[in-house]
A and B are shown apart, each in its own frame.
Chain A
């Protein structure tokens, strides 16, 4: 068939493309990156499930991966509205599932995570659902972690036995949809095919039992930007008027592990410069237990797991002009929020009654008016108070923290680099 050349427009620039070519492809050839998640190659019909590739085509929103180029096609890829729409969808996926990146075998190689970095998802505008989804160990070689599955349909479409029968298939519908495995058909796959299935999965939902080799940080697919063409920094958007006075900083660790504070100290010698310019008030770094004055910036590590965390946090909001959520736990709950899918009663019983205690017959649930009371779940600090800036990471990157601090102190507006934005 003869190839017809057509005229298209992307973000106002005119290009030529081959009629019928996929829009993703045509955009790529002309230096435009349209983010995609479920799309992994040109197939018919396209999966079109994630909707992360939503753009405007001749004024109407549509997904790029399901459209072919036609004459007069006018595509808007990077308008603020379209960018935000795509970001919202990625946020939705994070809020819908249970993604504890530091504990995930796919971390660093995960396409959802990369998409979060790419779009600068520091927090989700949607509250996390924290709903328990099954973990399926029944098949011989595959561990299926439904908490991380984004229902992209890749495995359903692609993984078949040599007879062409499905190994994976969607079950239920709507919010209850999940990917079921045919345990018998799975046996018909070769070991290589099983590994390929796991690699095909964009996230850490299909895990090959006993085959997960942890790669060192830095060696993983998306640790550096070498696998990514666009390196778009993220703007810092907090501003404190500069008035020449020494700034007063307070920090705290709520339901966190102090890892974020460690990372704070990773600024290395920078910390000495900081000390010239700031004065620490209430902080574990100074061991000042009570606020003695109003502060310019309050840096919070950790989520809110108990009544004491709540008191400290609300106090911070009153005493600090700007509140920075430092790290995944503060941002949305993080690792401690793993308990959010389990009723508090079960958590308490497992921890204090059913597990082995160093003291015989000392299995009791701690209760005293002086010890903090556990909340029904771990809350992000945003559930409780207004937050001005979020620094993601578990722990966050020292450079990222440093840039935020510099921004606060000198109004410096450096962009946060790709490698400084992370969830693990």
Chain B
């Protein structure tokens, strides 16, 4: 560690912390002291930032840190077996390190590899399609002193469908600079007009009209504005941004340049989730290439237009995908969402006007400039324009990326990915909605079923309560804790769900969850809490028989189990 390095930027705290974490496997008390002195902030503040993020550790970890994905898709693909194999081979217990200090094992939320589960990150390198046998080979290799780079996997992009009935928007041939060359021939006003005419809306899940967002940001007279690409892709089951960044990093960057040109920004940041660190090099190389080609930097393509781009890494928090949390995180703070007294387009990063857009949104925006708004506008439905990338995973033969035109039905989608015996679809992620057979004729569009990208398919062999428990745990772990309803509510719902599972709850108690869900929806501070109960209220509505079977006829207090502790103790003494 270069101890002479000067650290004096409070906004860079996450990067400093990553330096310590990467070099030593943890952040020590003396590191914290040092940082607090250098930055002139209190020690407790540094601790507070560290403890918000899942990938920062305060205790030493082994030479190899293994993060095994515990998402629901991983569960059905053999999570438990892999977990057991890892514990057996490394002799470490999950949550800790083996006696020799070589391996540390942790569970982690969806790492964006749902199409190749079970998957894990070892020192942030991807390992996919794991089997107990493969685990043994990996661990043996590392134990023998083999290099991790020799065995790391290269995830497939698995692009299965490119709007085969028409033309794709995103996954088509790409030539560097095509967008920017056309871009600089237009005025910023014309660019915004094109984006507006295309009907593009945010692909990160909120579907806010992109042209309108950019117009708001443009209207501000501030000298400094920012363009931020949301590459946090944290919704369990999505991996489409991963595929874009792996295959078309240049397209995404051209989209950011488009945004910067339109609103008058000179700085951009890609907020890349730590789980995608293996994509960082590719992004950096692309950025370098862009600088060399004069597509980034000063006077882009000879125009009076400067734009600099950098990458910042997240540190493990789903809520950091929420745009204001993301901005807080970029500023080196805990990733708690802001109160929406101002929108980022008014006061965003460093309180300056900022547009935050999703990877897919920027990529689509680039295509709109390259191919015209009519090209984009002609696709999709009456009200929902263009194509959408779906990340399909779970019980189907062909998991992967599907670039569909809005308007496709669920049935068509299931046929394409060759899903059989489908019983439960978690549509648009755990924060989205539950679909069953009754919904198969519905269409994927803003008019009917909107989708941010995640589609997790489960057949009738999967226990619905396993799914619900997995999602409930996800929200309990990822709630930032800032507001009462989400922090306490999700935890209470988790407890109630457990009661239901154990056949301890009455129908009244089951129905109560719906009322609780409404409280969270109405009063949570950010989208996480507002959507965190959809999955369970939907399930209660859509699987009435299942819940009826679980429910007690009338309230019964289980006296004998309440006496167990006492009898156990008295018997043993």
Binding site for B on A (CB under 8 A): 44-52, 54, 61, 63, 66-68, 85, 88-89, 92-93, 95-96, 125-127, 129, 150-151, 153, 161, 163, 165-177, 180-182, 184-185, 307, 310, 343-345, 348, 365, 367, 373-377, 379, 383-386
Return chain A residues, CB-CB under 8 Å to B573: 365
In the complex, what distance in Å separates the CA atom of A167 from the CA atom of B43? 9
Give 15 A-B contacts (CB < 8 Å), ordered by A residue.
A49-B483, A51-B523, A66-B341, A85-B523, A89-B519, A89-B523, A96-B487, A153-B482, A165-B45, A166-B45, A170-B48, A310-B557, A343-B565, A345-B569, A375-B559
> Contact check: which of A68, A153, A168 meets B44 at CB < 8 Å?
A168
> Contact check: which of B479, B488, B563 meets A373 at CB < 8 Å?
B563
Mask: chain B, 479-491; 1 = CB below 8 Å from A; 0 = not: 1111111011111
In the complex, what distance in Å separates the CA atom of A163 from the CA atom of B45? 14
Given A49-B484, A173-B481, are A344 and B565 neighbors across the interface (CB < 8 Å)?
A: yes
**Residue of A with least CB distance to B54:** A173
**Residue of B with least CB distance to A383:** B557
In the complex, what distance in Å separates the CA atom of A163 from the CA atom of B41? 9
Most buried by B among A54, A89, A174, A182: A174
Q: Is B223 an interface residue (CB 8 A)?
A: no
Return chain B residues, CB-CB under 8 Å to A61: 522-523
Contact check, B476 vs A89: say whether CB atoms are below 8 A apart: no
Q: Mostly helix, strand, loop or mixed at chain B's interface?
A: helix
Give chain B nearest CB distance to A35 CB in angstroms: 13
Given A151-B487, A174-B476, A344-B569, are A167 and B42 neighbors across the interface (CB < 8 Å)?
A: yes
Contact check, B51 vs A171: say whether CB atoms are below 8 A apart: yes
**Residue of B with least CB distance to A343:** B565
Give chain B nearest CB distance to A66 CB in angstroms: 4
Return chain A residues, CB-CB under 8 Å to B570: 365, 367
Most buried by A among B40, B41, B44, B483: B44
Contact check, A129 vs B479: say whether CB atoms are below 8 A apart: no
Mask: chain B, 432-470; 1 = CB below 8 Å from A; 0 = not: 000000000000000000000000000000000000000
Give chain B nearest CB distance to A205 CB in angstroms: 15
Give me the 8 closest cross-chain CB pairs, A-B, nearest first: A177-B481, A182-B44, A48-B339, A61-B522, A169-B48, A174-B479, A96-B488, A376-B565
Give chain B nearest CB distance to A198 CB in angstroms: 18
Contact check, B42 vs A165: say whether CB atoms are below 8 A apart: yes
- Which parts of B329-360 form the interface with A (CB within 8 Å)? 334, 336, 338-342
Mask: chain B, 40-80; 1 = CB below 8 Å from A; 0 = not: 11111101100110000000000000000000000000000
In the complex, what distance in Å separates the CA atom of A385 from the CA atom of B52? 41
Return chain A residues, CB-CB under 8 Å to B48: 169-171, 180
In the complex, what distance in Å separates the CA atom of A153 from the CA atom of B340? 17
**Residue of B with least CB distance to A386:** B555
Give chain A nearest CB distance to B33 CB in angstroms: 10
Return chain A residues, CB-CB under 8 Å to B480: 173-174, 177
> Contact check: which of B42, B481, B488, B562 meets A176 at CB < 8 Å?
B481
Contact check, A48 vs B479: say whether CB atoms are below 8 A apart: no
Q: Is B154 an interface residue (CB 8 A)?
A: no
Given A175-B481, A182-B43, A184-B43, are A374 and B566 neighbors across the interface (CB < 8 Å)?
A: yes
In the complex, what distance in Å separates the CA atom of A47 from the CA atom of B483? 10
Give chain A nearest CB distance to B109 CB in angstroms: 12
Give chain A nearest CB distance to B332 CB in angstroms: 13
Give chain B nearest CB distance to A155 CB in angstroms: 11
In the complex, what distance in Å separates the CA atom of A228 from the CA atom of B522? 27
In the complex, what distance in Å separates the CA atom of A48 from the CA atom of B565? 42
Return chain B residues, CB-CB under 8 Å to A384: 557
Return chain A residues, CB-CB under 8 Å to B476: 174-175
Given A169-B42, A174-B487, are A54 and B522 neighbors across the interface (CB < 8 Å)?
A: yes
Give chain B nearest CB distance to A173 CB in angstroms: 5
Q: Is B536 an interface residue (CB 8 A)?
A: no
In the complex, what distance in Å separates the CA atom of A127 from the CA atom of B569? 26
Q: Is B492 an interface residue (CB 8 A)?
A: yes
> Contact check: which of A51, A168, A174 meets B524 at CB < 8 Å?
A51
Return chain A residues, CB-CB under 8 Å to B41: 165-166
Mask: chain B, 131-158; 1 = CB below 8 Å from A; 0 = not: 0000000000000000000000000000
Most buried by A among B340, B516, B518, B522: B522
Given A169-B42, A172-B52, A180-B44, are A68 and B483 neighbors across the interface (CB < 8 Å)?
A: no
**Residue of B with least CB distance to A51:** B523
Most buried by B among A52, A170, A173: A173
Q: Is B567 an interface residue (CB 8 A)?
A: yes
Give chain B nearest CB distance to A156 CB in angstroms: 9
Give chain A nearest CB distance to B36 CB in angstroms: 9
In the complex, what distance in Å separates the CA atom of A63 from the CA atom of B523? 7
Return chain A residues, CB-CB under 8 Å to B519: 85, 88-89, 92
Contact check, A93 vs B51: say whether CB atoms are below 8 A apart: no
Given A63-B523, A367-B570, are A175 and B484 neighbors across the interface (CB < 8 Å)?
A: no
Contact check, B481 vs A170: say whether CB atoms are below 8 A apart: yes
Give chain B nearest CB distance to A126 CB in angstroms: 5
Contact check, B484 vs A93: say whether CB atoms are below 8 A apart: yes
Give chain B nearest CB distance to A143 CB in angstroms: 17
Other A-B pairs beyond A175-B481, A175-B490, 20, CB < 8 Å: A45-B339, A45-B342, A48-B483, A49-B482, A49-B484, A51-B523, A54-B523, A85-B522, A95-B492, A96-B491, A153-B482, A161-B42, A169-B42, A169-B44, A170-B481, A172-B51, A174-B479, A377-B562, A379-B557, A386-B555
Give chain A nearest CB distance to B12 CB in angstroms: 18
Mask: chain B, 548-573; 1 = CB below 8 Å from A; 0 = not: 00000001010100111111011001
> Contact check: which of A89, A165, A172, A345 meets B481 at CB < 8 Å?
A172
Given A49-B525, A51-B525, A172-B51, are A365 and B569 neighbors across the interface (CB < 8 Å)?
A: yes
In the complex, what distance in Å separates the CA atom of A374 from the CA atom of B564? 10
Contact check, A169 vs B484: say whether CB atoms are below 8 A apart: no
> Contact check: which of B341, B491, B523 meets A45 at CB < 8 Å?
B341
> Contact check: which of B40, B52, B489 meets A173 at CB < 8 Å?
B52
Contact check, B51 vs A345: say whether CB atoms are below 8 A apart: no
Given A49-B484, A170-B334, A172-B481, are A181 and B563 neighbors across the interface (CB < 8 Å)?
A: no
**Residue of B with least CB distance to A67:** B341
**Residue of A with least CB distance to B557:** A384
**Residue of B with least CB distance to A48:** B339
**Residue of B with least CB distance to A22:** B341
Given A127-B492, A375-B562, A375-B566, are A151 and B44 neighbors across the interface (CB < 8 Å)?
A: no
In the complex, what distance in Å separates the CA atom of A367 from the CA atom of B569? 11
Q: Is B395 an interface residue (CB 8 A)?
A: no
Contact check, B492 vs A151: say whether CB atoms are below 8 A apart: no
Return chain B residues, CB-CB under 8 Å to A176: 481
Contact check, A375 vs B563: say whether CB atoms are below 8 A apart: yes
> Contact check: which of A48, A171, A173, A367 meets B525 at CB < 8 Å?
A48
Q: Is B317 an interface residue (CB 8 A)?
A: yes
Contact check, B51 vs A125: say whether CB atoms are below 8 A apart: no
Most buried by A among B342, B484, B516, B525: B484
In the complex, what distance in Å separates the CA atom of A173 from the CA atom of B559? 35
Q: Is B512 an interface residue (CB 8 A)?
A: yes
Contact check, A51 vs B40: say whether CB atoms are below 8 A apart: no
Mask: chain B, 512-552; 1 = CB below 8 Å from A; 0 = not: 10001011001111000000000000000000000000000
Give chain B nearest CB distance to A339 CB in angstroms: 12
Mask: chain B, 487-510; 1 = CB below 8 Å from A; 0 = not: 111111001000000000000000
Contact check, A92 vs B483: say whether CB atoms are below 8 A apart: no
Return chain A residues, CB-CB under 8 Å to B340: 66
In the complex, what distance in Å separates the CA atom of A49 from the CA atom of B480? 11
Return chain B residues, CB-CB under 8 Å to A96: 484, 487-488, 491
Q: Is B478 an interface residue (CB 8 A)?
A: yes
**Residue of A with least CB distance to B43:** A182
Given A165-B40, A376-B566, are A173 and B484 neighbors across the interface (CB < 8 Å)?
A: no
- Which parts of B98-129 form the interface with A (CB within 8 Å)? none
Q: Is B422 an interface residue (CB 8 A)?
A: no
Give chain A nearest CB distance to B124 CB in angstroms: 21
In the complex, what distance in Å separates the CA atom of A172 from the CA atom of B52? 5
